[in-house]
Amino acid sequence: MSKPGIDEQLAILMQGTEYGDPALKQAMAAELRERLILAEKEQRPLRVYAGYDPTSSDLHLGHTVTMRKLRQFQELGHSVVFLIGDYTARVGDPSDKNTLRPQLLEEKINANARTYAEQAFRILDREKTEVHHNSEWLSKLSFAELIRLGSNFTVQQFTTRENFRLRWDKGEAIYLHEFFYSIMQGYDAYALRADVQVGGTEQLFNILTSGRKIMEFYGVRPNIGVLLGILPGTDGVVRMSKSLGNHIPIMAEPGDMYGKVMSVPDTAMALYYRLLTRFTPDQIAATERDLQSGALHPRDGKMRLAREIVEIYHGTDAAAAAEEQFRQVFQKSELPDDMPVAQVSDGKRLADLMVELELAKSKTDARRLIEQGGVRLGGETVNDPNGVVPLAGDPVLQVGKRKFVRLKKAV
Protein backbone atom coordinates (compact mmCIF):
# COMPACT_ATOMS: atom_id res chain seq x y z
CA MET A 1 0.00 0.00 0.00
CA SER A 2 1.36 3.40 -0.97
CA LYS A 3 1.91 6.03 1.69
CA PRO A 4 -0.99 8.51 1.99
CA GLY A 5 -0.49 12.06 0.76
CA ILE A 6 0.28 14.91 3.17
CA ASP A 7 -3.33 16.04 3.50
CA GLU A 8 -4.53 12.51 4.27
CA GLN A 9 -1.71 12.00 6.78
CA LEU A 10 -2.65 15.27 8.48
CA ALA A 11 -6.31 14.22 8.72
CA ILE A 12 -5.30 10.94 10.38
CA LEU A 13 -2.86 12.53 12.80
CA MET A 14 -5.19 15.38 13.83
CA GLN A 15 -8.16 13.06 14.35
CA GLY A 16 -9.40 13.28 17.94
CA THR A 17 -7.32 16.34 18.82
CA GLU A 18 -8.57 19.08 21.12
CA TYR A 19 -6.91 22.35 22.09
CA GLY A 20 -9.74 24.39 23.60
CA ASP A 21 -9.08 27.09 21.00
CA PRO A 22 -9.81 26.69 17.25
CA ALA A 23 -7.02 29.13 16.33
CA LEU A 24 -4.47 27.13 18.34
CA LYS A 25 -5.61 23.88 16.74
CA GLN A 26 -5.28 25.45 13.30
CA ALA A 27 -1.78 26.71 14.14
CA MET A 28 -0.63 23.28 15.35
CA ALA A 29 -2.12 21.59 12.26
CA ALA A 30 -0.30 24.08 10.03
CA GLU A 31 3.01 23.45 11.83
CA LEU A 32 2.54 19.69 11.61
CA ARG A 33 1.80 19.94 7.90
CA GLU A 34 5.00 21.95 7.35
CA ARG A 35 7.01 19.43 9.37
CA LEU A 36 5.56 16.51 7.39
CA ILE A 37 6.49 18.21 4.12
CA LEU A 38 10.00 18.94 5.40
CA ALA A 39 10.45 15.33 6.57
CA GLU A 40 9.55 14.04 3.11
CA LYS A 41 11.89 16.54 1.47
CA GLU A 42 14.76 15.56 3.80
CA GLN A 43 13.79 11.85 3.51
CA ARG A 44 13.73 11.36 7.26
CA PRO A 45 11.01 10.26 9.68
CA LEU A 46 9.63 12.59 12.31
CA ARG A 47 10.68 11.82 15.88
CA VAL A 48 7.52 11.46 17.97
CA TYR A 49 7.09 10.64 21.64
CA ALA A 50 4.65 10.41 24.51
CA GLY A 51 5.55 10.04 28.17
CA TYR A 52 3.91 7.78 30.75
CA ASP A 53 4.52 8.11 34.48
CA PRO A 54 4.37 4.65 36.08
CA THR A 55 2.03 5.63 38.92
CA SER A 56 0.14 2.30 38.81
CA SER A 57 0.86 -1.19 37.54
CA ASP A 58 -2.04 -1.65 35.14
CA LEU A 59 -3.05 0.36 32.10
CA HIS A 60 -6.63 0.96 30.98
CA LEU A 61 -8.14 2.19 27.71
CA GLY A 62 -7.76 5.79 28.83
CA HIS A 63 -3.98 5.35 28.80
CA THR A 64 -4.08 3.94 25.28
CA VAL A 65 -5.48 7.06 23.60
CA THR A 66 -2.01 8.54 23.11
CA MET A 67 -0.56 5.11 22.27
CA ARG A 68 -3.06 4.75 19.44
CA LYS A 69 -1.83 8.09 18.06
CA LEU A 70 1.78 6.92 18.35
CA ARG A 71 0.83 3.81 16.37
CA GLN A 72 -0.68 5.99 13.63
CA PHE A 73 2.64 7.86 13.37
CA GLN A 74 4.45 4.49 13.18
CA GLU A 75 2.18 3.26 10.38
CA LEU A 76 2.99 6.43 8.44
CA GLY A 77 6.71 5.65 8.72
CA HIS A 78 7.76 7.89 11.61
CA SER A 79 10.03 7.09 14.59
CA VAL A 80 8.28 6.63 17.93
CA VAL A 81 9.68 6.86 21.45
CA PHE A 82 7.78 5.35 24.38
CA LEU A 83 9.06 7.35 27.34
CA ILE A 84 8.66 5.96 30.85
CA GLY A 85 8.65 8.86 33.29
CA ASP A 86 10.39 7.15 36.15
CA TYR A 87 11.87 10.49 37.26
CA THR A 88 8.82 12.69 36.69
CA ALA A 89 6.81 10.11 38.66
CA ARG A 90 8.80 11.18 41.72
CA VAL A 91 7.00 14.53 41.52
CA GLY A 92 3.67 13.50 40.01
CA ASP A 93 1.93 15.53 37.32
CA PRO A 94 -0.35 18.12 38.93
CA SER A 95 -1.94 19.06 35.60
CA ASP A 96 -5.20 17.15 36.05
CA LYS A 97 -5.36 17.22 39.84
CA ASN A 98 -6.79 19.72 42.30
CA THR A 99 -4.87 18.14 45.16
CA LEU A 100 -1.24 17.28 45.87
CA ARG A 101 -0.18 14.01 44.29
CA PRO A 102 1.46 11.57 46.71
CA GLN A 103 5.15 10.98 46.09
CA LEU A 104 5.95 7.41 45.14
CA LEU A 105 8.86 5.37 46.43
CA GLU A 106 11.52 4.46 43.88
CA GLU A 107 10.87 0.73 44.35
CA LYS A 108 7.17 1.18 43.53
CA ILE A 109 7.96 3.31 40.47
CA ASN A 110 10.41 0.71 39.13
CA ALA A 111 7.97 -2.15 39.72
CA ASN A 112 5.21 -0.34 37.83
CA ALA A 113 7.57 0.68 35.02
CA ARG A 114 8.50 -2.93 34.27
CA THR A 115 4.92 -3.68 33.19
CA TYR A 116 4.26 -0.52 31.15
CA ALA A 117 6.18 -1.19 27.96
CA GLU A 118 4.97 -4.79 27.67
CA GLN A 119 1.36 -3.65 27.96
CA ALA A 120 2.00 -0.84 25.46
CA PHE A 121 3.26 -3.34 22.87
CA ARG A 122 -0.31 -4.57 22.51
CA ILE A 123 -0.70 -1.39 20.43
CA LEU A 124 2.77 -0.25 19.40
CA ASP A 125 5.04 -2.10 16.99
CA ARG A 126 7.72 -3.55 19.25
CA GLU A 127 10.36 -3.60 16.50
CA LYS A 128 9.80 0.06 15.63
CA THR A 129 9.58 1.53 19.15
CA GLU A 130 12.37 3.08 21.18
CA VAL A 131 11.90 2.81 24.94
CA HIS A 132 13.58 5.31 27.23
CA HIS A 133 13.38 6.34 30.90
CA ASN A 134 13.68 10.03 31.65
CA SER A 135 16.00 9.26 34.56
CA GLU A 136 18.62 8.80 31.80
CA TRP A 137 18.98 12.60 31.59
CA LEU A 138 17.00 14.15 34.44
CA SER A 139 19.09 12.37 37.08
CA LYS A 140 22.19 14.05 35.62
CA LEU A 141 20.95 17.66 35.67
CA SER A 142 22.98 19.93 37.95
CA PHE A 143 21.50 22.55 40.24
CA ALA A 144 23.14 25.20 38.06
CA GLU A 145 21.29 23.84 35.03
CA LEU A 146 18.00 23.80 36.97
CA ILE A 147 18.50 27.49 37.77
CA ARG A 148 19.00 28.23 34.06
CA LEU A 149 15.86 26.27 33.18
CA GLY A 150 13.83 27.96 35.90
CA SER A 151 14.79 31.40 34.60
CA ASN A 152 12.49 30.80 31.61
CA PHE A 153 9.33 30.84 33.74
CA THR A 154 7.51 33.12 36.15
CA VAL A 155 5.64 32.07 39.27
CA GLN A 156 2.56 33.73 37.79
CA GLN A 157 2.60 31.31 34.85
CA PHE A 158 2.14 28.43 37.28
CA THR A 159 -0.22 29.97 39.83
CA THR A 160 -2.66 31.14 37.15
CA ARG A 161 -3.13 27.56 35.90
CA GLU A 162 -6.61 26.38 36.84
CA ASN A 163 -5.62 23.47 39.06
CA PHE A 164 -3.17 25.58 41.08
CA ARG A 165 -5.52 28.57 41.20
CA LEU A 166 -8.33 26.48 42.69
CA ARG A 167 -6.03 25.27 45.45
CA TRP A 168 -4.73 28.80 46.03
CA ASP A 169 -8.29 30.13 46.36
CA LYS A 170 -9.13 27.39 48.86
CA GLY A 171 -6.06 28.24 50.91
CA GLU A 172 -4.55 24.80 50.25
CA ALA A 173 -0.80 24.32 50.12
CA ILE A 174 1.01 24.39 46.77
CA TYR A 175 4.48 22.93 47.06
CA LEU A 176 7.53 24.17 45.20
CA HIS A 177 8.46 20.76 43.81
CA GLU A 178 5.14 20.65 41.91
CA PHE A 179 6.42 23.48 39.68
CA PHE A 180 9.35 21.29 38.67
CA TYR A 181 7.12 18.87 36.75
CA SER A 182 6.54 21.12 33.73
CA ILE A 183 10.23 21.98 33.56
CA MET A 184 11.18 18.30 33.73
CA GLN A 185 8.73 17.40 30.97
CA GLY A 186 9.95 20.29 28.84
CA TYR A 187 13.51 19.01 29.23
CA ASP A 188 12.35 15.55 28.11
CA ALA A 189 11.29 17.05 24.76
CA TYR A 190 14.69 18.71 24.38
CA ALA A 191 16.64 15.58 25.41
CA LEU A 192 14.77 13.51 22.83
CA ARG A 193 15.04 16.24 20.13
CA ALA A 194 11.38 15.55 19.45
CA ASP A 195 9.52 16.83 16.41
CA VAL A 196 6.17 15.97 17.97
CA GLN A 197 4.91 15.27 21.48
CA VAL A 198 1.59 13.50 21.97
CA GLY A 199 -0.44 14.07 25.13
CA GLY A 200 -3.87 14.72 26.58
CA THR A 201 -5.54 18.12 26.69
CA GLU A 202 -4.46 18.59 30.31
CA GLN A 203 -0.87 18.65 29.03
CA LEU A 204 -1.33 21.89 27.08
CA PHE A 205 0.91 23.96 29.38
CA ASN A 206 3.55 21.24 29.74
CA ILE A 207 3.83 20.67 25.98
CA LEU A 208 2.97 23.96 24.27
CA THR A 209 4.48 26.32 26.85
CA SER A 210 7.17 24.49 28.80
CA GLY A 211 8.39 22.06 26.14
CA ARG A 212 8.56 24.55 23.29
CA LYS A 213 10.09 27.28 25.48
CA ILE A 214 12.87 25.02 26.75
CA MET A 215 13.68 23.69 23.29
CA GLU A 216 13.94 27.25 21.97
CA PHE A 217 16.08 28.19 25.00
CA TYR A 218 18.59 25.50 23.95
CA GLY A 219 18.47 26.64 20.33
CA VAL A 220 16.64 23.69 18.77
CA ARG A 221 13.44 23.68 16.74
CA PRO A 222 10.43 23.43 19.10
CA ASN A 223 8.24 20.37 18.96
CA ILE A 224 4.61 20.29 17.87
CA GLY A 225 1.94 19.33 20.36
CA VAL A 226 -0.69 16.80 19.31
CA LEU A 227 -3.23 17.06 22.13
CA LEU A 228 -6.00 14.49 22.36
CA GLY A 229 -9.40 14.55 24.01
CA ILE A 230 -9.96 12.91 27.39
CA LEU A 231 -11.66 9.50 27.29
CA PRO A 232 -14.66 9.24 29.62
CA GLY A 233 -15.14 6.06 31.58
CA THR A 234 -17.98 3.56 31.30
CA ASP A 235 -20.30 6.16 32.83
CA GLY A 236 -19.76 8.28 29.73
CA VAL A 237 -19.10 11.42 31.75
CA VAL A 238 -16.12 11.35 34.11
CA ARG A 239 -12.55 10.71 32.95
CA MET A 240 -11.72 7.00 32.92
CA SER A 241 -10.00 6.13 36.19
CA LYS A 242 -9.23 2.94 38.08
CA SER A 243 -9.88 4.71 41.38
CA LEU A 244 -13.41 5.63 40.22
CA GLY A 245 -14.16 2.11 39.01
CA ASN A 246 -15.26 3.32 35.55
CA HIS A 247 -12.24 1.92 33.72
CA ILE A 248 -11.71 -0.88 31.18
CA PRO A 249 -8.34 -2.59 31.75
CA ILE A 250 -6.41 -3.48 28.61
CA MET A 251 -5.61 -6.81 30.29
CA ALA A 252 -9.34 -7.57 30.80
CA GLU A 253 -10.68 -10.86 29.46
CA PRO A 254 -12.29 -10.57 26.00
CA GLY A 255 -15.84 -11.15 27.19
CA ASP A 256 -15.50 -8.70 30.05
CA MET A 257 -13.92 -6.07 27.81
CA TYR A 258 -16.66 -6.48 25.21
CA GLY A 259 -19.40 -6.22 27.83
CA LYS A 260 -17.90 -3.12 29.41
CA VAL A 261 -17.65 -1.33 26.06
CA MET A 262 -21.30 -2.22 25.41
CA SER A 263 -22.21 -0.61 28.75
CA VAL A 264 -20.81 2.78 27.66
CA PRO A 265 -23.63 5.31 27.01
CA ASP A 266 -24.48 6.05 23.38
CA THR A 267 -23.47 9.69 23.92
CA ALA A 268 -19.81 8.68 24.35
CA MET A 269 -19.70 6.29 21.37
CA ALA A 270 -18.36 8.78 18.83
CA LEU A 271 -15.48 9.77 21.11
CA TYR A 272 -14.56 6.11 21.68
CA TYR A 273 -14.51 5.61 17.90
CA ARG A 274 -12.21 8.61 17.38
CA LEU A 275 -9.80 7.90 20.24
CA LEU A 276 -9.56 4.10 20.48
CA THR A 277 -10.06 2.48 17.08
CA ARG A 278 -8.10 1.84 13.90
CA PHE A 279 -10.83 3.24 11.67
CA THR A 280 -9.92 6.09 9.31
CA PRO A 281 -11.43 9.58 9.65
CA ASP A 282 -13.66 8.90 6.62
CA GLN A 283 -14.91 5.60 8.08
CA ILE A 284 -15.68 7.24 11.43
CA ALA A 285 -17.45 10.15 9.76
CA ALA A 286 -19.59 7.67 7.78
CA THR A 287 -20.47 5.78 10.97
CA GLU A 288 -21.50 9.01 12.70
CA ARG A 289 -23.68 9.99 9.72
CA ASP A 290 -25.36 6.59 9.73
CA LEU A 291 -26.04 6.82 13.46
CA GLN A 292 -27.54 10.29 13.10
CA SER A 293 -29.72 9.32 10.12
CA GLY A 294 -30.91 6.10 11.71
CA ALA A 295 -29.31 3.93 9.03
CA LEU A 296 -27.20 2.35 11.79
CA HIS A 297 -28.84 1.35 15.08
CA PRO A 298 -26.86 2.56 18.13
CA ARG A 299 -26.69 -1.02 19.43
CA ASP A 300 -25.13 -2.23 16.18
CA GLY A 301 -22.74 0.73 16.11
CA LYS A 302 -21.63 -0.08 19.63
CA MET A 303 -21.21 -3.77 18.84
CA ARG A 304 -18.95 -2.79 15.94
CA LEU A 305 -16.98 -0.62 18.38
CA ALA A 306 -16.73 -3.36 21.03
CA ARG A 307 -15.61 -5.93 18.45
CA GLU A 308 -12.91 -3.55 17.16
CA ILE A 309 -11.52 -2.80 20.64
CA VAL A 310 -11.45 -6.46 21.72
CA GLU A 311 -9.82 -7.42 18.41
CA ILE A 312 -7.01 -4.90 18.99
CA TYR A 313 -6.02 -6.50 22.30
CA HIS A 314 -7.06 -10.13 21.89
CA GLY A 315 -7.30 -10.89 18.18
CA THR A 316 -10.06 -11.65 15.68
CA ASP A 317 -11.11 -15.06 17.06
CA ALA A 318 -11.41 -13.83 20.64
CA ALA A 319 -13.44 -10.81 19.51
CA ALA A 320 -15.84 -13.02 17.54
CA ALA A 321 -16.26 -15.35 20.55
CA ALA A 322 -16.88 -12.42 22.90
CA GLU A 323 -19.52 -11.04 20.54
CA GLU A 324 -21.26 -14.40 20.27
CA GLN A 325 -21.26 -14.76 24.05
CA PHE A 326 -22.78 -11.29 24.34
CA ARG A 327 -25.51 -12.18 21.84
CA GLN A 328 -26.35 -15.37 23.75
CA VAL A 329 -26.47 -13.78 27.17
CA PHE A 330 -27.89 -10.33 26.50
CA GLN A 331 -29.76 -10.52 23.21
CA LYS A 332 -31.10 -14.08 23.31
CA SER A 333 -31.41 -14.18 27.12
CA GLU A 334 -29.47 -17.44 27.18
CA LEU A 335 -27.04 -18.46 29.86
CA PRO A 336 -23.31 -18.60 29.05
CA ASP A 337 -21.90 -22.08 28.47
CA ASP A 338 -18.74 -21.66 30.54
CA MET A 339 -20.00 -20.21 33.83
CA PRO A 340 -18.23 -21.28 37.04
CA VAL A 341 -19.85 -23.80 39.39
CA ALA A 342 -19.91 -23.36 43.19
CA GLN A 343 -20.56 -26.00 45.83
CA VAL A 344 -22.89 -24.46 48.43
CA SER A 345 -23.96 -25.75 51.83
CA ASP A 346 -27.60 -25.82 52.90
CA GLY A 347 -28.85 -22.83 54.86
CA LYS A 348 -26.59 -20.23 53.19
CA ARG A 349 -28.03 -16.72 53.18
CA LEU A 350 -27.95 -14.88 49.85
CA ALA A 351 -25.93 -11.81 50.90
CA ASP A 352 -23.35 -14.00 52.65
CA LEU A 353 -23.04 -16.23 49.58
CA MET A 354 -22.54 -13.28 47.24
CA VAL A 355 -19.62 -12.03 49.35
CA GLU A 356 -18.18 -15.54 49.64
CA LEU A 357 -18.27 -16.00 45.84
CA GLU A 358 -16.80 -12.50 45.30
CA LEU A 359 -19.96 -11.37 43.52
CA ALA A 360 -20.15 -8.43 45.93
CA LYS A 361 -17.47 -6.53 47.81
CA SER A 362 -19.31 -6.63 51.14
CA LYS A 363 -22.67 -7.50 52.69
CA THR A 364 -23.66 -3.84 52.33
CA ASP A 365 -22.79 -3.98 48.64
CA ALA A 366 -24.74 -7.25 48.28
CA ARG A 367 -27.84 -5.75 49.93
CA ARG A 368 -27.63 -2.71 47.62
CA LEU A 369 -27.43 -4.91 44.51
CA ILE A 370 -30.39 -6.99 45.69
CA GLU A 371 -32.51 -3.96 46.60
CA GLN A 372 -31.82 -2.44 43.16
CA GLY A 373 -33.11 -5.55 41.43
CA GLY A 374 -29.71 -6.54 40.12
CA VAL A 375 -29.71 -10.14 41.42
CA ARG A 376 -31.53 -13.10 39.89
CA LEU A 377 -31.69 -16.67 41.15
CA GLY A 378 -33.00 -19.42 38.92
CA GLY A 379 -34.14 -16.77 36.44
CA GLU A 380 -36.19 -14.85 39.02
CA THR A 381 -35.33 -11.48 40.56
CA VAL A 382 -34.78 -11.77 44.32
CA ASN A 383 -35.32 -9.03 46.92
CA ASP A 384 -34.47 -10.57 50.29
CA PRO A 385 -30.76 -10.38 51.16
CA ASN A 386 -31.29 -12.52 54.25
CA GLY A 387 -33.21 -15.22 52.45
CA VAL A 388 -31.84 -18.76 52.43
CA VAL A 389 -30.61 -19.84 49.00
CA PRO A 390 -32.62 -22.77 47.54
CA LEU A 391 -30.36 -25.31 45.87
CA ALA A 392 -32.86 -27.63 44.23
CA GLY A 393 -32.30 -27.98 40.49
CA ASP A 394 -28.80 -26.40 40.50
CA PRO A 395 -30.03 -22.81 40.06
CA VAL A 396 -27.96 -20.08 38.40
CA LEU A 397 -27.11 -17.02 40.49
CA GLN A 398 -26.80 -13.92 38.30
CA VAL A 399 -25.44 -10.61 39.63
CA GLY A 400 -25.64 -7.66 37.26
CA LYS A 401 -25.34 -8.33 33.54
CA ARG A 402 -22.11 -10.28 33.39
CA LYS A 403 -21.65 -12.40 36.52
CA PHE A 404 -23.10 -15.93 36.52
CA VAL A 405 -22.48 -18.85 38.90
CA ARG A 406 -24.27 -22.21 38.84
CA LEU A 407 -24.98 -23.39 42.38
CA LYS A 408 -24.76 -27.03 43.38
CA LYS A 409 -25.52 -28.52 46.75
CA ALA A 410 -22.37 -29.47 48.58
CA VAL A 411 -22.15 -33.20 49.27
Q: How far apart are CA 29 and CA 10, in angstroms?
A: 7
Evaluate if residue 101 carries a pLDDT over 50. no
d(CA 51, CA 91): 14
DSSP letter, residue 126:
G
Q: For the domain made up of 6-228, give the CATH fold.
A: Rossmann fold (3.40.50)
Nearest to 251 by CA among 115, 127, 125, 405: 115
- CATH code for 254-331? 1.10.240.10
The more confident residue out of 228 and 178 is: 228
pLDDT at res. 393: 75
Topology of domain 341-409, per CATH?
3.10.290
β partners of residue 133: 84
The 10s digit of each residue's pLDDT in 309-342 is 999 999 999 999 999 988 887 766 666 767 888 8
pLDDT digits (tens, 9 = 90+) for 335-378: 676 788 888 888 888 999 899 988 888 888 888 888 878 888 87
Is pLDDT above 60 for 102? no
Could you tell me which residue, 174 or 225, shows the higher pLDDT?
225
User: Within 10 Å of residue 221's Cβ, how many Cβ atoms?
Assistant: 13
pTM of the complete model beyond 0.85 = no
pLDDT at 120: 86
Q: Give the pLDDT confidence score for residue 284 in this predicted structure.
A: 94
Of the candidates 157, 204, 206, 184, the one whose C-alpha atom is nearest the C-alpha of residue 28 is 204
Distance of CA 389 to CAs 66, 192, 352, 395, Å? 48, 62, 10, 9
Strand order in the sheet with 47-52: 129-133, 79-84, 47-52, 196-200, 224-228
Residue 17 three-state SS: strand
Query: In angstroms, rounded to a whole number, what is the distance separating the alpha carbons of residues 128 and 178?
Result: 34
CATH code 1.10.240.10 region(s) in the chain? 254-331
User: CATH 3.10.290.10: which residues of the chain?
Assistant: 341-409
* Side-chain-facing half-sphere of 328: CA atoms under 13 Å: 14
Kindly report the backbone phi and psi dihedral angles of residue 265, in degrees, each rounded to the nearest multiple of 5, phi listed first.
-60, 150
Q: What angle do CA 142, 144, 149 make, to 5 degrees?
A: 95
pLDDT class of 99 with cuts at 50, 70, 90: very low
Per the CB < 8 A criterion, the answer to whether 70 and 124 are in contact is: yes
Which regions of the chain carry the CATH code 3.40.50.620?
Answer: 6-228
Compare 332 and 52 and report the one with higher pLDDT.
Answer: 52
Percentage, residues of the chain above pLDDT 70: 95
Is the model's pLDDT at 154 over the cut of 90? no
Among residues 394, 397, 317, which one has the least CA distance to residue 353? 397
Strands (E), 317-395: 341-344, 375-377, 380-381
